[in-house]
Amino acid sequence: MARQHAKVLQFYLITNHTEKTNYKPYSRSTKYITTVESSKPRPLFIYGTLRARPLLAWALTGDAANTEPISALARPAKVYGCARYTVRSRDYPAVIKKDGHEIDGDLLILETKSMRKKLDDFEGEMYTPTSVDVVLEDGIIVEADMYVWAGDQDALSDEPWELDTFVEERLQDWLDLFGGMEMIGEDDD
């Protein structure tokens, strides 16, 4: 039991959360973190184009080369009960709830509400932030938000979406398109 508590505390120390946490046992070997009393935004699970560190850095800081501090905000993770598909005629994916499937991605622990607002604006109205259980590599389960497809199901292809393909074939085009632009967040209190 003490080892499990240490895992939870270690996770929060790594992610700069020193606030009081409320958690309950998820299983004998896993902790389920349900809330963080904080002025920070909820954790966010990303699974698509934002996993490309230069694009995430651009969205959060306006500088695609600023990947090192942005990478420190992310932890590899999975979400079960969802499937990722390519949106037809687009470079980006969408996630829908689907039993028996899982998706890989990253859990982001954002530092400010302004950062979260920038990502909400980047994703737009076709995605709805939805609460999901995110499983980290060490088995800790964190309640987080994930952008779930809110558009027409017919817009999704049967083709899975792959990060490596996006990075190799399309990332530079996206960075060129967004060059000189900056996402606007909001003032943090």
pLDDT single digits (tens) 32-89:
454 455 678 999 999 999 999 999 999 999 999 999 999 999 999 999 999 999 999 9
At residue 77, φ and ψ (nearest 5 deg) are -160, 175
Hey, which CATH number is domain 38-178, 3.30.1330.120, 3.20.20.80, 3.40.80.10, 3.10.490.10? 3.10.490.10
Question: What does 58-85 look like in DSSP terms, one character per residue?
Answer: HHHHS-TT-HHHHHTTEEEEEEEEEEEE
* Domain residue ranges of the chain, discontinuous segments joined by +: 38-178
Report the C-alpha gap between 177 and 180 in whole angstroms.
Answer: 9
pLDDT single digits (tens) 112-161:
999 999 999 999 999 999 999 999 999 999 999 999 999 999 999 999 89
